Structure 1
């Protein structure tokens, strides 16, 4: 489809022929079926990349089933927003039909019937589809006309935040399917992870749809021109979720590999694995149901994540009701004022030793002598500055900068507050610290006495020996769980965000045998990830076969 931005740029991204053929086969749109009784929708016709293979399969189907071409009048609905592009699409169809042996007058009539000049997302004519296939536009909502964007948001509830409009295309396509019908798109896979895809993930997870195929193709030459779009072939069926095929590809993946992979994928059963040039695949028993974020990664990694989600002996590490909390360090809103290395800056009891990310960069805590200038009393109240003349003088000397912060403007009498309150009871408690940016999940024990800065996450617990928990956090299981859910930066650096750290599954501390606890504690002290993973394997319910997945991921 051609969508024009507010700058007059049209969002054309053209798909290679072999990618189209792959999608059509995966959705079941094959000529051995009586396609004249079914309806396929192409919501973004563009240059006709999908129309050619669709028409060829339609013509072959009526030939095989002995039906007249006239029976295909309701078999295809294609959309184009602009009349010039729609006219071009009709001409492409007319040519394809006449080359396929259809009389020119009938070809012209079918082409006219099949192509609609309309906005797919706003078209009022309801089409019930057996297949919806295509390559929807890649344009952010804020880049199109405000009035049109508002109309999209009103009609399609999944289009929230800074969504690409392909989110709305997926929503409409899914809602148009008959039971058993399939959507087959090549589309950016960011909706499976990012915030703007949350409503769409919720729709798929709870709306009676099944993820059938997810082929990650980030480095594949899938389009006529280079596009940085994180594409994935995605097939979703209207029906109950069962097994799901996941394929991970490299730049070596192409037409021949796609044909071989397709042949395997359409008949594969749960538990099977596959490998060919530029691709590896596996069949998961089911798909992921949480709407917060779906994991991504290699097939082996996703099989491991699925196991961890389903194994009953595990629960998220963040479990305040059972005494364990995962949270982030203190944000000040003015670090240059609230953070100091001057141990004589203000009254002694107003300086709290502060741990920063560089203090744990070596894998152990090496406090750098940094303090937080602490404005807080107990129970969320600020200190009375009249009782701390040096503190008052210090804050007053920075009054202008402190008062202009957003957190201070709401109540200028509290101008010297930090964004987050200080939890004084946590200063002396032992903690596991995690930096927010690192290639590997690396827990560091802080025995008590310092407070974490906001670029550190930390765990406190009433029930865990933190060295044992630290051993579990060093395992390949914890690493893969985090990597599959969080954002991966350049160079493989992971952002260990609290929302994902909180969800890392761990066994109950009461269910860990003494010998395993001792071994995990020692592995943590030694920084031995391999040993920690080996010891933890039975605690995660991993059989010998499932353990092999972890070995492949590690290798």
Structure 2
């Protein structure tokens, strides 16, 4: 990953060990000038405005890639308005850890000022005021003083940060929980520096939008700020060196969430295309734009909450946001629709059997396995759960079931070594999960955890799902109609946008992702569409299911 410099350190009392200095210097990857210009345009830092009375912060300035462009624009703004350079003495605030980088940044912007004809004395005073050695993450809080915060924030391995400094960072940045990377703190404190309607523009890894360590930052953004623009640039040569960085340009505003633009780019995206994208974003009312180098969509708002934000093409993101605005979630109390996972035992070799004589007959629960769903219809293979649970949700008394008692005692060593048994020694024969006595008889849709495509299968009742199967039950849905919706590429689009994609393109159809699916009111689906969904589900016809689902959702087509 990259950073303009890997981080800036303060005139604080915390030491800067050689290992950290080395990590910073080895991690420096500098931003290309056209990327810098694109970001400054996107946040609105242009010479058309009176930049001398505005305040821009560059929290990790490196050798001045951003500062050179900032000063060029500031100088042009001052010249156009007849301002002296010292009238802009408070217009820039920049930091860096490495003293050599501070000096090079100062040389860079001094050269810009000399070329623009500013006097040596006033230029020297401005340069000294604008750039300082310091740690942005440990500065005294100066909330809401910046009109702009721009740059390429740090991305550094936690093991390269001394423990004492890392603790100080966590105290300073509430969103840096768990294994959070350093750049998370730069986002948080950068946003906190913004005045109302001020904008932050970073080029940085976009992993925080989806992974666990970004949860706190996502929560902060959606609660207090507006996500205005995300330009995904995974295939773009954005830096002076070739790096694998998964970068995106992100613009965040200190204000209420408004419309948002999501854009994706190809390797052909460059300076001209960046200007074209920016012009479209500010001048056009069109919802979509598609070019060979980029495509973008205007969303009514960004995705809410701290859960992982979706990843898809801009057009598909727009569709998902539209459906999210118009339809309720799949799991819904009003329809009694619930998503769950099958039973985990902690010792399948003991609790799973095909021997009908192993224990008392009423202690055997027919268990649906992933392999039973392969054909698209449930074809039970004869696996039973040796069930230690009674109908009231309590463990049965082994004295009442001598064959069950004998069976479990034969395997007591194995069962007692499990964590769940060590924690509760008197309940050594329990499974990790309880058996829901009502679930077995209920009709339910079963979905394998890992699959290339979504694969709902109907159990009309009589089986309990194993832990590699997720289930859906409902009081209101005809499960064949719902099964048709879930078989469609529309439903799969929700899971694909949120789910972890494994090697080979395999998706995880876990409950947390299935719960992201939006569905129409079951009572509001036209009879003809319901019939088409049932037929497509029973015939396992994905194309027909998708066409019927498009009608149910009121969509013309499914965007790529």
| TM-score, normalised by the number of residues in structure 1 | 0.92
Instruction: Tell me how large the CA RMSD over aligned residues is.
Output: 2.2
2:296 counterpart SS class: strand
2:65 counterpart SS class: coil
Q: Which residue of 2 aligns with 1:83?
A: 99
Alignment of 1:199-218 (within 5 A): 199-207=216-224, 209-218=225-234
Q: Deviations over 1:450-503 (max 9, x none)?
A: 211111111012221111000111223212122222222233322222122123
Find the aligned partners of 1:258 and 1:481 in 2 and give their Cα distance: 29
1:513 and 2:526 correspond:
yes
1:259 positional shift: 2.7
Q: Which residue of 2 aligns with 1:193?
A: 210
Q: Which residue of 1 aligns with 2:401?
A: 388
Q: Which residue of 2 aligns with 1:137?
A: 154
Q: Which residue of 1 aligns with 2:315?
A: 300
Match for residue 185 of structure 2 among 164, 168, 188: 168
Q: Which residue of 2 aligns with 1:57?
A: 73
Find the aligned partners of 2:415 and 2:334 in 1 and give their Cα distance: 37
Find the aligned partners of 1:360 and 1:499 in 2 and give their Cα distance: 21
- Structure 1 residues 483 and 110 mapped into 2: Cα distance closer, same or farther (>3 Å)? same
Query: Contact between 2:6 and 2:23, CA under 8 Å: does it hold in 1?
Result: no
Moved more, 255-264 or 340-349: 340-349
1:31 counterpart SS class: coil
Find the aligned partners of 1:368 and 1:218 in 2 and give their Cα distance: 45
Q: Which residue of 2 aligns with 1:155?
A: 172
| TM-score, normalised by the number of residues in structure 2 | 0.91
Q: Which residue of 2 aligns with 1:114?
A: 130
- Structure 1 residues 356 and 116 mapped into 2: Cα distance closer, same or farther (>3 Å)? farther
1:125 positional shift: 5.8
Q: Which residue of 1 aligns with 2:481?
A: 468
Moved more, 92-101 or 494-503: 92-101
- Structure 1 residues 261 and 406 mapped into 2: Cα distance closer, same or farther (>3 Å)? same
- Structure 1 residues 149 and 268 mapped into 2: Cα distance closer, same or farther (>3 Å)? farther
Q: Deviations over 1:239-293 (max 9, x none)?
A: 2322211101123323332232222223232x42112222111111222223323
1:389 positional shift: 3.1
Match for residue 479 of structure 1 among 492, 506, 510: 492
Match for residue 418 of structure 1 among 428, 431, 438: 431
Q: Deviations over 1:79-106 (max 9, x none)?
A: 1123333233223333333333333443
Q: Which runs of 5+ in 2 are unaligned?
A: 8-15
Alignment of 1:274-293 (within 5 A): 274-293=289-308
Find the aligned partners of 1:200 and 1:533 in 2 and give their Cα distance: 36
Find the aligned partners of 1:98 and 1:396 in 2 and give their Cα distance: 87
- Structure 1 residues 47 and 437 mapped into 2: Cα distance closer, same or farther (>3 Å)? farther
- Structure 1 residues 157 and 382 mapped into 2: Cα distance closer, same or farther (>3 Å)? same
Moved more, 336-345 or 50-59: 336-345
- Structure 1 residues 361 and 254 mapped into 2: Cα distance closer, same or farther (>3 Å)? farther
Alignment of 1:25-424 (within 5 A): 25-124=41-140, 126=142, 128-141=145-158, 144-207=161-224, 209-269=225-285, 271-311=286-326, 314-424=327-437
Q: Which residue of 1 aligns with 2:12?
A: none
1:119 positional shift: 1.1
1:495 and 2:512 correspond:
no
1:362 positional shift: 3.6
Query: Contact between 1:327 and 1:457, CA under 8 Å: does it hold in 2?
Result: yes
Q: Deviations over 1:199-223 (max 9, x none)?
A: 322222221x222111111222222
Q: Which residue of 1 aligns with 2:10?
A: none
Find the aligned partners of 2:159 and 2:404 in 1 and give their Cα distance: 46
Query: Contact between 2:58 and 2:150, CA under 8 Å: does it hold in 1?
Result: yes
Query: Contact between 2:445 and 2:471, CA under 8 Å: does it hold in 1?
Result: yes
- Structure 1 residues 224 and 493 mapped into 2: Cα distance closer, same or farther (>3 Å)? farther
1:436 positional shift: 1.6
Find the aligned partners of 1:97 and 1:403 in 2 and give their Cα distance: 75
1:391 positional shift: 2.8
1:511 positional shift: 1.6
Query: Contact between 2:393 and 2:437, CA under 8 Å: does it hold in 1?
Result: no
Find the aligned partners of 2:249 and 2:374 in 1 and give their Cα distance: 39
1:184 positional shift: 0.3
